[in-house]
Every structure is written in structure tokens, then in C-alpha cells.
């Protein structure tokens, strides 16, 4: 776990700069990078160790891209004040493809379910990699579109009706929906369409919602 090399603490997690080029090759989106590219990435990627319950990224944190090297990470989100576990990440998976693609903060949190280790690549360093190796940006954009869309993605979660509680749970109360354009659902929908459009452009497809 390279504990002897940890030089700082961030939010309770241990941070070092010891991720190796070989370990980077084990992260799916970086597997096709050449040895020299992985070596350059290893010099800017932070090596972070997490204890169970610690967060690699909290909901609302600034964008970055993570690769899970060891352990297991839970995807968690507060929905109407209730914490929900939406999924998991395993070694080789990436974390943060949605905010890094859309230029937003993290829409969900990523919490260690067991002792875990991740590599963190800042936004500027990620874009340097994507410029030098466009296929990395294409794969990240496609993954972001997949994470957002569908019934199990953020769009599907936003569309679920909230649980009834308090006054609206009373049998004599009839709640009626009212959604203006500026809502959590509409914001997720706009971000979903943006991610899908980015994926189409990066893969050479014609954008569906072009503006002339």
C-alpha cells in the first residue's frame, strides 16, 4: 500500500506521488497509452490511500479524474435527504468521468467500502493527456454519457418520484406535481444531452442538436 511514502493528509486520506506506469496501465482508459505517456502521467498523478468510509470525492467537489488501483468504492448520493448507494467501482475502473467531461462539480460522492487506493489526475493534467491521446477523451466522454443516461443513471434517478413523508404522506392530502424548467430534473437532462453530444462529436458522429 506504499504507506511508508505517504507525505500528506487530505480529508483523512493519505496522499503520495508514487503511482507507477505499470499500475496506470491497469486502469482501463489508460491501458492503450504508450510507456512514455504512462510515465509522464505517473509524475503528475497523486497516489491516495483511503480507509473504509473515507471519500475519494464528495458530492460537490471540483472535477478531477480518478483511477481505482485497489479496493472497492461505493457511489453515493443524497436523494431527498436520504443517502443512496447507486453502484460500485472496482480496480481498473475510473471515477469522475461525468464532471471531467461536462466541466462541473461531482454530482455524486465516491466512498471507500474497504481499504482502497486511487490515483487522482487533476483537470489540467487530464486535458493534457486527452490532447496527446485523443482516444482517452473519446472513451471518457462515452463513459460519461453512459453513466448519466438510462434508468440506472443520474437521469433515471432524477426521474424517480421522491418518497412521501410528513404532510404529503397523509391520506387526505393529494400532492400534485409542478416542475418549472429550472429543476434538478431539467439540469440533469441538459447535462445528459451535453455529454451525449460531446461523445458524438468526439467519435466523428453528426451532433443531434446542432446550432446554426
User: What is d(CA 159, CA 65) in angstroms, rounded to the nearest whole number?
Assistant: 27
Is residue 116 situated within a structural domain?
yes
Percent of the chain beyond pLDDT 90? 50
Mean pLDDT (the chain) is: 80
What are 150-207's pLDDT values in tens digits? 544 454 444 455 555 555 556 666 555 554 555 566 666 677 777 777 777 777 777 7
Measure the CA–CA gap between 97 and 141, rounded to whole angstroms.
7
* DSSP assigned state of 205: P
Judge whether residue 40 has pLDDT over 70: yes
Residue 43, domain member (yes or no)? yes
Residue 178 is predicted with a pLDDT of: 53
Within 10 angstroms of residue 99's Cβ, the number of other Cβ atoms is: 22
Q: How confident is the model at residue 122 (pLDDT cuts 50, 70, 90)?
A: very high
94 located within any domain = yes
Q: What is the CATH number of the domain that holds 8?
A: 2.60.120.10
Tell me what the mean pLDDT of segment 144-149 comes to: 81
CB 65 within 8 A of CB 121: yes
User: Is residue 87 assigned to a domain?
Assistant: yes
Residue 71 · residue 112 · CB < 8 Å: yes
Residue ranges making up the domain that contains 23: 3-122
Give me the mean pLDDT over the 102-120 stretch.
Answer: 94
In this prediction, residue 157 carries a pLDDT of: 46
Helix axes 123-132, 35-42, angle to 10 degrees: 170
Tell me what pLDDT residue 117 has: 96
Residue 186 within any structural domain of the chain = no
Residue 59 lies in a domain: yes
Cell numbers that stand for 103 in this block: 466541466
165 belongs to a structural domain: no
The total number of structural domains in the chain stands at: 1
Partnered with residue 132 across adjacent β-strands are: none
> What is the total residue count of the chain?
212
Q: What is the DSSP string of 119-143?
A: EEEEHHHHHHHHHH-HHHHHHHHHH
Residue 182 resides in a domain: no
- Residues 94 and 27 sit within 8 Å (Cβ to Cβ): yes
Question: CB within 8 A of 121, min separation 6: which ones?
Answer: 41, 44, 45, 64, 65, 66, 67, 129
> Which range (83-92, 120-129, 158-167, 188-197) has the least confidence?
158-167
Which tens digits make up the pLDDT trace of 154-168? 544 444 555 555 555
pLDDT at 195: 77
**First-last CA distance in the chain:** 53
Q: Are the beta carbons of 195 and 98 closer than 8 angstroms?
A: yes
Amino acid at each position: 500500500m506504499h504507506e511508508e511514502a505517504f507525505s500528506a493528509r487530505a480529508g483523512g486520506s493519505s496522499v503520495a506521488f508514487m503511482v507507477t506506469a505499470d499500475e496506470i496501465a491497469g486502469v482501463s482508459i489508460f491501458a492503450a497509452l504508450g510507456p512514455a505517456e504512462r510515465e509522464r502521467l505517473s509524475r503528475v498523478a497523486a497516489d491516495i490511500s483511503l480507509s473504509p468510509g473515507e471519500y475519494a470525492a464528495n458530492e460537490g467537489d471540483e472535477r478531477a479524474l480518478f483511477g481505482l488501483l485497489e479496493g472497492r468504492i461505493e457511489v453515493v448520493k443524497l436523494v431527498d435527504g436520504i443517502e443512496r448507494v447507486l453502484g460500485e467501482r472496482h480496480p481498473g475502473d475510473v471515477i469522475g468521468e461525468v464532471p471531467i467531461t461536462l466541466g462541473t462539480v461531482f454530482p455524486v460522492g465516491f466512498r471507500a467500502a474497504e481499504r482502497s487506493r486511487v490515483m487522482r489526475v487533476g483537470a489540467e493534467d487530464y486535458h493534457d493527456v486527452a490532447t496527446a491521446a485523443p482516444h482517452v477523451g473519446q472513451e471518457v466522454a462515452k463513459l460519461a454519457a453512459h453513466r448519466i443516461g438510462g434508468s440506472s443513471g443520474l437521469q433515471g434517478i432524477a426521474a424517480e418520484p421522491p418518497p412521501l413523508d410528513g404532510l404529503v404522506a397523509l391520506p387526505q392530502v393529494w400532492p400534485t406535481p409542478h416542475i418549472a424548467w429550472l429543476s434538478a430534473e431539467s439540469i440533469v437532462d441538459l447535462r445528459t444531452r451535453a455529454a451525449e453530444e460531446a461523445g458524438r462529436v468526439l467519435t466523428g458522429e453528426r451532433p443531434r442538436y446542432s446550432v446554426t
